[in-house]
Amino acid sequence: MKTSSKVGGKLVGIKKLKVDAWLGAVMQTSQQTVIERLVKFLSMNGLDTDRGKWDRYKSSDVMPLRIFVEEVDKILPGTERIFLSGADKLPMWKVLERDESACKRTVSSLLADAKLYQSGKGVSEKCHTLLQYMVECQFQEAWCGSPMDLDKLVASPTRNAIAKSCKAKNLDTRTMLAIVALWILAQSGKDPKAINYTDYFLLGILKQPLTDQFGQPIADFIRKMYQEAG
């Protein structure tokens, strides 16, 4: 992924994603479909702003100032949270920036809260534990894979049990971010099993499940990250 904040005068990478995700949340929360109507909606609710500013956000020219994000949040609660963290108070942006510590904490805290965490485990071992968590705590009766054996599941990648299960009951945002974080950790290592396991997990949520939980901008960013990894 591009690491610079601007290319050709346009925002790229995480900065662009933050603006896109925030703008998407603003439009959705306000129930508006075009910028002109959004400006009128905000004005009616006490925040005077100009259309040109919003057009610049939409075209990835600039990032909004924090104080402006706060003002918008007073009218559209929850939108500031999207700008700051991404989703549900999770360290979304740090994970997508491939911050190793944030990725490890995201996985470990999820498993610890489920009383499944064991210290000293490698990525491939954590994959087995994460699968157990998904089946027992998330999917439950919606689980479409049998048996719950990760090696056997990975042997049949075209029949992805996670993708099938998500059609009946989608994973929550915290679990999905843990999958992304574990995939990132596997990419930075040299364990082929960990790479195969996390590829299987990510492919299970890469299409509609990811969009449903994180929204189009974040889902597209993760899909592009996966494609660029080859």
- Rounded-to-integer distance, Cα 90 and Cα 93, Å: 9
Per-residue pLDDT of the chain (230 residues; tens, 9 = 90+): 444 567 888 889 999 999 999 999 999 999 999 999 999 999 999 999 999 999 999 999 999 999 999 999 999 999 999 999 887 778 999 999 999 999 999 999 999 999 998 888 999 999 999 999 999 999 999 999 887 899 999 998 788 999 999 999 999 999 999 999 999 999 998 899 999 999 999 999 999 999 999 888 899 999 999 999 97
Provide the β-strand partners of residue 91: 86
Element (H, E) at 110: helix 100-113
Strands 86-87 and 90-91: antiparallel
Secondary structure letter of residue 119 according to DSSP: T
Secondary structure letter of residue 140 according to DSSP: G
Residue 32 identity (one-letter amino acid): Q
Residue 4: predicted pLDDT: 52
- Rounded-to-integer distance, Cα 58 and Cα 60, Å: 5
| Residue whose pair of structure tokens reads 């210290």 in the numeric block | 119
Sign of CA dihedral 110, 183, 28, 25: positive
Strands 6-7 and 86-87: unpaired
- Rounded-to-integer distance, Cα 86 and Cα 22, Å: 8
Residue 201 identity (one-letter amino acid): F
Strands, E assignment, the chain: 6-7, 10-11, 86-87, 90-91
Residue 197: predicted pLDDT: 97
**Burial class of residue 223 in the structure, from the number of CB atoms within 10 Å of its CB (0-12 exposed, 13-18 middle, 19+ buried):** middle
CA dihedral 84, 85, 87, 93 (to 10 degrees): 130
- Rounded-to-integer distance, Cα 67 and Cα 72, Å: 9
